[in-house]
Structure 1
């Protein structure tokens, strides 16, 4: 194991580990991560005071992306790192000092279990879940570098089709900031083989203030990376997830081949 997650008081023996790692020893150039794959809530947090239906909404996790990630990892024989806890417990794609690391209101829903937390309660979530997830990513990148395995970081997310009564027309979005070459090559291929709208830094812009995983693990090492958002209504079913995994497993090697010629 990469971490001793349950030494912290926030997780009980009945809670799952923060991280699920698939194809741990892969030598594929693609390292796939899903910051918001899971929707578990630690037993001690009593569902954060939410109704069960709230934990099926986009506020709790990235709907559909776990299925896409697992199918893609299988096709590419790539390592996949899944974060198992709800983003409402702690958002592993936020800077550790971000005001919304542990959010109190999400899409107009008050997260009662996140109100008036003490510093100790916040630190417990950071140490047991957040740090465990990022340590796992960091150690796998180091394993790959020590073995001289090329690493291309693929961060998968999904987004809701509508936010604040505004429709989001994009079927997918390519997010980028520093060193955008790999992502923009991928965008070119996706637009060539997929006839529906693709966003450029939509529905969000990648930036180091709000995003964390790609800036933390890719920017400093100048790793090629792709941060991909897929609209949730397009990956709800297993068939849809398989279609996207098929598409990505075809386009990612094409992208890497062209990127390598630069």
Structure 2
């Protein structure tokens, strides 16, 4: 068992669910210098992602890898040299404990093992397909005027093959879909750039709206919608 990730073994189908920001955990020896209540907030964790990813892995019969620590400890969805690896501010909140933290130590302890696990599982698949699961807050405290009305966003960088399959299917399921919204995969796509686009592996990158997956009913609803769509993308591309 690694503190860097949690693995769900739902079966051997060649789909890997990746959830970079599924955990709000902060190890006892890491002091972020923040109010503990913030660990329940979107700045610390992608709300609903752990539960939806677990449901999807079991429904699809595949594996899932979820980040084992809060993105405030280290952001697993950032390149090794990205400035946002150790956030010192997030949506208006200071993270003072990160100002003098040892980046190299956290990379070795969390970032490297997580990405090594993802790469190893993909290497063991004959025809892999990746489902990347995140969630977004419907409103930012630092930008309250920004409207985020979408139920789900589809993100990608250069490879939009699965996005083009999934978007009409998501819309047919009754969801308001953002194509490269609420932000673009051209900017925020580090894990998929590394493991999917960098290796020619097809993938679907999804961002669910957090208030829609904040309880068990919403989590079950989204898992039921997303499972057949992920399978359809995989069957057409893998």
TM-score (normalised: structure 2): 0.94
Contact 1:98 1:210 in 2 (8 A): no
Per the alignment, residue 181 of structure 1 pairs with 161
The 1-side partners of 2:236 and 2:108 are apart by: 40
Contact 1:189 1:255 in 2 (8 A): no
In structure 2, relative to structure 1, the CA distance for the partners of 1:247 and 1:210 (3 Å cut) is closer
SS for the counterpart of 1:88 is coil
Task: Indicate the RMSD between aligned Cα atoms, in angstroms.
Answer: 1.5
| 1:211 and 2:204 aligned | no
| 1:201 and 2:180 aligned | yes
> Following TM superposition, by how much is the alpha carbon of 1:153 offset from its aligned partner in structure 2, in angstroms?
0.6
Contact 1:60 1:87 in 2 (8 A): yes
| 1:242 and 2:223 aligned | no
Larger Rg: 1
SS for the counterpart of 1:45 is coil
The 1-side partners of 2:105 and 2:37 are apart by: 26
> Following TM superposition, by how much is the alpha carbon of 1:205 offset from its aligned partner in structure 2, in angstroms?
0.5
Write out the 4+ residue segments of structure 1 that deviate beyond 6 Å after TM superposition.
none
In structure 2, relative to structure 1, the CA distance for the partners of 1:215 and 1:232 (3 Å cut) is same
Which of 124, 131, 138 is residue 112 of structure 2 equivalent to? Answer: 131
Contact 2:136 2:209 in 1 (8 A): yes
The 2-side partners of 1:182 and 1:18 are apart by: 28
Number of residue equivalences: 235
Residue-by-residue CA offset, 1:10-48 (whole Å, 9 max, x unaligned): xxxxxxx21111117x321211010000011121123x1
Contact 1:95 1:210 in 2 (8 A): no
Question: Following superposition of structure 1 onto structure 2, how do residues 1-262 of structure 1 map, counting pairs within 5 Å?
Answer: 17-23=3-9, 26-46=11-31, 48-117=32-101, 121-144=102-125, 148=126, 150-163=127-140, 164-165=143-144, 166-194=146-174, 196-207=175-186, 210-259=188-237
